[in-house]
Amino acid sequence: MKKITVLGAGLVGKAIAIDLCSDFKVTSVDINPDNLNKLNKYSSIKKVEADLSKSETLKRIISDCDLVIGAVPGFMGYQTLKTAISCGVNIVDISFFNEDPFTLDIYAIQNRVVAVIDCGVAPGMSNLILGYHNSKMQIKSFECLVGGLPVVRTWPYEYKAPFSPIDVIAEYTRPARMVENGAIVVKPALSEAELIHFHKIGTLEAFNTDGLRTLLKTVKIPDMKEKTLRYPGHINVMRVLRETGFFNDEPIDGNSMTVRPIDMTAKLLFPFWELNEFEAEFTVMRIAITGKERGVDKKYTYNLLDYYNPQTQTSSMARTTGYTCTAVARLILENKFSRIGINPPEFIGADEKCFQEVMAYQEARSIFYRMK
């Protein structure tokens, strides 16, 4: 039985470990014992409490596994990926770090490592779907609207996060790169807000975020953009915090000590944004792809609406992110995807068999990307 080590046992890391433990020997690693204790009823999952920020500790933990899954906070993601590559271990990563993953491509090739990055819902499934259609048609435009939200709207933020607040804050501060008329343009995060209606959900607010990531390098499409979805009003609160300096990462002086405002803000936001283990929430995504296919104008629209699963007690964001990751992990372990180097999900989607398997894997877990 092949060995998988899942780094991080938060809401998504936990879902990943549970999804894989019936077919593989899974080890879950986290610095927080409370996270690991939530896996106690799964006796087949080995639990290891460790500080994954320490490179030597990480090397020791992953040295004998067949595949690593990175589900650590974004600020740890790049170094975690680099360490796994140095150990010659294949890896699927969902940590969405800021650094350019392609700087590790030569390193991965030299170490004969299959490394899949950004393997969640968006980026992740959005890239995979685009990669599939990009292999079959001449695409003119790509738009992705995506968000994860609680069912119950609670003042003042009307938002809950399955990830650490500091990773969410990055979406509100990092300049948003998009493609217009074949050129990369940069716009402020939270800009160009617009109200969009979604069936069964109602009106949500979409705003620019830096979600295209690897697509800026891997595909040549004249117009591409990604926007994040929130309940109307949320982004105005975020703008106030940002413009006041609460998201700044430069230390400031205060009462004989220095502190980064973003660290303080993340701690203050955590109790408001923490997604409770059994809280109802949903993931909504709309992807629109237009272009020519065999000389004919075509538009493909994919709609996803997925809710918290009370039977398995798994959040929608954990399902839609985690099961994309586990589907790709299985492709690698079954030698169905074996491209050495850094692989964003669009590379996987370009392989029709891999694309169909990932889509079928999602549907088997009641996650439906409805296409028209």
- Give the pLDDT confidence of 142-175 residue by residue, as tens digits: 999 999 999 999 999 999 987 778 888 989 999 9
| Mean pLDDT, residues 302-308 | 97
- Give the whole-angstrom CA distance, residue 168 versus residue 74: 10
**Residues 76 and 156 placed together within one structural domain of the fold:** no
**Residues 166 and 73 placed together within one structural domain of the fold:** no
Which secondary-structure segment (H or E) carries 285?
Answer: strand 281-293
Tell me, what CATH number does 61's domain have? 3.40.50.720
pLDDT of res. 322: 97
**Residues 103 and 135 placed together within one structural domain of the fold:** no
**Residues 334 and 276 placed together within one structural domain of the fold:** no
The answer as to whether 33 is a domain residue is yes
| Mean pLDDT, residues 290-304 | 97
The answer as to whether 315 is a domain residue is no
Query: Are 62 and 89 in contact, with CB atoms under 8 Å apart?
Result: yes
Residue 222 in this model has a pLDDT that exceeds 90? yes
From residue 149, how far is each of 99, 200, 317 by CA, in Å?
Answer: 27, 14, 9
pLDDT of res. 124: 97
Instruction: For residue range 18-33, list pLDDT tens digits in order.
Output: 999 999 999 999 999 9
**Residues 112 and 71 placed together within one structural domain of the fold:** yes
**Residues 294 and 181 placed together within one structural domain of the fold:** yes
**Residues 207 and 103 placed together within one structural domain of the fold:** no
| Mean pLDDT, residues 317-344 | 97
pLDDT of res. 162: 73
- Give the closest residue to 141 by CA, choosing from 128, 150, 130, 152: 130
3-state secondary structure of 104: helix
Whether the bond between 123 and the residue before it is cis, its omega within 30 degrees of 0, is yes
- Give the whole-angstrom CA distance, residue 288 versus residue 129: 10
Instruction: For residue range 71-127, list pLDDT tens digits in order.
Output: 999 889 999 999 999 999 999 999 989 899 999 999 999 999 999 999 999 999 999
pLDDT of res. 300: 98
**pTM as predicted:** 0.94
The answer as to whether 313 is a domain residue is no
The total number of structural domains in the chain stands at: 2
The answer as to whether 239 is a domain residue is yes
Instruction: For residue range 241-295, list pLDDT tens digits in order.
Output: 999 999 999 998 877 788 999 999 999 999 999 888 789 999 999 999 999 999 9
Task: For residue 25, give its domain range.
Answer: 3-121+320-371
Torsion sign across C-alpha atoms 19, 278, 7, 38: negative
**Residues 173 and 192 placed together within one structural domain of the fold:** yes
Phi, psi values for residue 181, rounded to 5°: 55, 40
**Residues 230 and 253 placed together within one structural domain of the fold:** yes
